[in-house]
Amino acid sequence: MRLFVGLGNPGEKYARNRHNVGFMAVDAIAKRHGFPPWRRRFQGVASEGALGGERVQLLLPGTFMNESGQAVAEAMHFYKLTLPDIVVFQDELELPPGKVRVKTGGGIAGHNGLRSITAHIGNDYRRVRIGIGHPGVKEMVHGYVLTDFPKAERDWVEALTGIIADNAELLARGQDPSFQNKVHLAMDAKGFGPDDDGE
């Protein structure tokens, strides 16, 4: 069993915020792979299905970002999972918009959702870091992440969440480098490749 967790804040007010791109990615996986309707579980909503021959529980915590670890810990203990079974989809300020990196463990870079999860279960879970860019000034970060993606960015957001969903089976099978590479190539093919320094 794998646990795929989308990070975000619950409710319509936040649905299109940059901070909610983790929710968007996991919701895209549910739709693309025909998961059953969401139901209330683990202090959020969850849906169980199969990806790449693996059972996968999708979870969108309903606790608000800062308490995401409560929901993750509850699901982890229920299924007796280990940290490598857990994949967290998060927004990442330190990556250019549309860039994706997969890593295990590492720093939390001020991300309150990751801070809460690490406090509850430890740090060595897997993270799908979805770049949203940085506003340039630390004082602007809070407002930036809680603002909706502007119309000009919605095309790459939709493309990227779809590509993540297309390749989610690789994550379920633990093939993180292959997943990252396929996402990168598919974004390039759609014309959303990086114009940055290649980080």
CATH number of the domain bearing residue 146: 3.40.50.1470
Domain assignment present for 195: no
pLDDT tens-digit map of 10-24: 999 999 999 999 999
Domain assignment present for 174: yes
* Closest to 100 (Cα-Cα) out of 59, 140, 62, 129: 129
User: pTM of the full predicted structure?
Assistant: 0.95
Q: What is the DSSP letter of 97?
A: T
Contact 60, 38 (CB under 8 A): yes
| Given the residues 19, 33, 77, 134, the one annotated as active site | 19
Structure tokens given for 170: 């690789």
- Using 50, 70 and 90 to split pLDDT, how confident is the model at 167? very high
The residue segments making up the domain with residue 85 are 2-189
* pLDDT score of 87 more than 70: yes
Domain assignment present for 43: yes
Return d(Cα 174, Cα 176) in angstroms, integer: 6
Domain assignment present for 6: yes
Residue that has been written with the tokens 């690789």 in this structure: 170
- Assess whether 19 carries a catalytic annotation: yes
Number of domains in the chain: 1
Domain assignment present for 198: no
Domain assignment present for 156: yes
